[in-house]
Structure 1
């Protein structure tokens, strides 16, 4: 299969290696074309719509891990060092192969969350596949969480003043959409096994339209073409060496032999699903399995009918998207 790429001076023909419709195209010469991405936008000092300020920071040079920090408009109550606010460590979506913490979609979305929930957000820019295959993204996000919690000791040469002066390190939340929600699940499991700096605990986590899949269709998932579905193809692209393939516990947490969901290292969990999402039934099954696992935290399923995958990020002005935002803000304030 050939693709012709045209610029003002030359015409070249390149052979496609892998193509996932609407998502990504890779070529045999090693180049990558991302088919769905929003423009990169700079951070801003006091966003005109929300008053939220943002800045970009470097967490690690090797590997390269960055983040965009978001700070709500400071008031008399939260501008004092003894009036600190919760911290949200956020992981963007995009099938592990597209998306960015610096994209216009995510920048706008985090501005809204931060302003409505009055939290300090750390939106992690993790490495993407296929240039950096999984588990790179998982490791980057774990490193980012450890960097956040290292501020408790206030002895890091790489510490950030916003986190030091305004972040409540006893109130850390994880959040993510789609692949980011998958990362939230896997990081939450890891916090149940590995200690964070100073014994810091994750208070809560939200998983919005979580990207889970498996070899056997469930619920309303069609049997025909299951192996050619976008979730299946994307996983094969981003983690080709995964043990068990599409039934690796990181993408199918309900597969026999997967770590017990009772080990999730947070005290409350919110799962958000949408009625028209191809991933909907996986989210429901995940919720039901957590409920039956013996996990001791507070658990909630929030469904928005007649909406598609991650609609609340793309159609932020709709009534349903505003309802999702209100639920997230309430979850992060509790």
Structure 2
């Protein structure tokens, strides 16, 4: 019989670490998230998913937990990651600044994004105190009072191109140590990762398609941030799909662009991964190119909530293993 308490207030973190080629390190980081200081397993924490990409040399570990447990769980995972990953020798085609590159925290149920921001700020303070050489920049609800977005902060820091840490100015911690690099910590409504591969090796074409669907483009897709990368001999259009609140958006059978979900009565929308794939396919087709497929890295917001509730209710800490290991 489950002993999970009623009314569990759930959050998720899609922990991005700069390692994928050494599977044992990635799994050690995931397992560290499940243990309390005394070595006992957290009852209200589950690792739902591990996605690792060899070319990117980057892994995304989806950790779900009660809001009370999430900060300690992420802290333990980060300590293990910093112990095992050295940015001085790290190689991969995906931009990154830190051994632990990104710690975004999202509300799933019973929690507002502002509370996730408080968890993120507390975690940032604990992390720079716990790990010598660790330094942090804040974004979203953790970045008070400005609440600058992750995209804004990355542009300011040169995340897309920089690998020299010496001139970076963190929000917390000392100047970044070369081994640790710089870590982004923040909170926002849920952000998905959705990638579409085009059947081409033409990076310029991929960048053109990425630019066309980017949300900042006048004709782009709302809430979609994009980059194009060489990947497994083809070009991958990598998309961060942000949730947004929009009064004008209405669900209807005629409009398949947006999906909806709610947290504590707040209604959010996001551009459908199917619609993103269709738009990339159309733009590629206009250039005589096909697409190979779409990869949703992890879960939609509703899927993440459902899996988290099940995993924690049933005390399944290593939930990713029942889904066949590393999966999308």
User: TM-score interval w.r.t. the shorter chain?
Assistant: 0.3 to 0.5
Higher RCO (CA 8 Å, separation ≥ 6 residues): 2
TM-score, L = length of structure 1: 0.36
Q: TM-score, normalised by structure 2?
A: 0.36
